[in-house]
Structure 1
Amino acid sequence: MSEPTQLPTQHRLTDWGVIRAQGTDAASFLHGQLTQDFAGLDRDHARLAGFCTAKGRLLATMVGWKQGDDDLLLALPAETLPATLKRLSMFVMRAKCKLTDASAEFAVYGLLGVPAAEAWTLVRDGDAVQIALPAAPGLGRALRVQAADAPAPAGAAITPEDWAGAEAQAGIAWVRGATVEAFVPQMINFEVLGGVSFKKGCYPGQEIVARSQYRGTLKRRLQVFESDGAATVGQEIFSSADPEQPAGVVAGSGTRDGRTVIAAEIKLAALDGPSLHLGSATGAALQPRALPYEIPPQE
């Protein structure tokens, strides 16, 4: 007799919301505002994308997909949703695109232990969608978005800390309230994870993002660490070699197997120093861990 299949675990992301972009110009409008290609988006994939200032700093990060031909949805952390919706709406002008906060219509879940799949592939289950997310080896992850009144997905519930720990372990971080305008996309490995198209046309901040990519001047990257100390998004990180100046900032944090897992944007030069610490040069020590993906060398 075969062993029963183990169900994935799930966590309802009550701290996430959904923006709806509806109209015949919805895809082209988002294409001109976000870091990813929405003009060529099909129904079997989602897009990781960022919304930048003119200086290339990320105001928000999100996952977008087609709910219908002229109906696109963007899922993102709720703390950045109101400002993102307001700022995007400023640029609609004559485009046939209506932007609304659709958060009340949907429930967003994070799933752990699902079968491995290429990140950003999308499977439809009636009106629900399940989107494969970047993951650490052996820990398949997905984002499931379904009607707010639909039953929860099968599987035991996990804590917010466990979900956030799996996110950090996967080497991905989302812009939160504490990190708005803190990063250009490459500082959090966004282009490696599929969040930037360098073949599409202009969008706010495009020149800065492209310059960071092609001039080989990037001096900061997202790295994964473990620690015995608790960490919060936006918390500064210090090197014992330079205790007066922050060496980085916590971009995401949670727990895995009883330890704190941190995705931190860090000065690359600080990785060669004696030690890194949370909050101050005498704070909890950070132990570097391998990213689950490769960072291409700068040309």
Structure 2
Amino acid sequence: MSTDSAEAKCLLPDPEMTRRGFAMTTLATGFALASLPVSAQTIVTTPADGLMVGEITVRVKDGTIPAYHAMPNTKGPFPIVLVVQEIFGVHEHVKDICRRFAQQGYLAIAPELYARQGNPAAIKDVQQLMKEIVSKVPDLQVMADLDATVAWAKENGGDTNRLGITGFCWGGRVTWLYASHNPSLKAGVAWYGRLTTPANPLQDMVPIERVKELKAPVLGLYGEADKGIPVADVEKMREALKAAGKTDSEIVLYPGAPHAFFADYRPSYTPDAAADGWKRCLAWFKRHGVA
């Protein structure tokens, strides 16, 4: 099947979806159940002082999806950063990250990319979440929804000539993919996103296999002690980037850091790696014309 026909099939309304409508029309509040317990000692809360924040809706090809946005309460246009969710969806941590970017002068927006498949915040078990929602989200649908989110940002104070993307866990993989999809992207920062996940009919894009198609430099931030992403996979990605001549992309591997080391609300939070990664993220966007 060609890419065009695959995309058309992916974006046609699913009969079951048509009967029940989008599974999510508004964002969940608080933290996703599968991500609990929250570590009260380390959680970061970014104030909305001086910002415009809140939930909005993004028009996509088959309806609308909810999203969270944050931007300075001043005159734009502002550089845009797409913030792509963890496997838990757009919950409070992702919203807080949007506010962090907005405090740095960005229009940050996080679309709920599971809106058609279900509400991730209501599922307690990670394996159940993967089976019932995450595994059913087509890559082509995600790419199209992110394109639609960029269009919303352009109409609402964003400068698409200064477009960046960052994502965490599930969103880290998506970051690599979107950097191979959108020629208008300036830069991406992928936090511990899978690199070599086997393809399947709905999710047939594999980051390491799309290196030659990268249209923007990507900074990959990974943990040496990540049990789900072996160091060997990280090294293979480094070699693939080198072989493809993508010398403007880089990967940082933090010694001793686990998966989700930036997630300050979880026990995996690793302050030194998180702080360094955030600093590198902002510098990367500035270096490549996003900021």
Same fold (TM over 0.5): no
Q: Which of the two has greater strand per residue?
A: 1
Q: Which of the two has greater helix per residue?
A: 2
Larger radius of gyration: 1
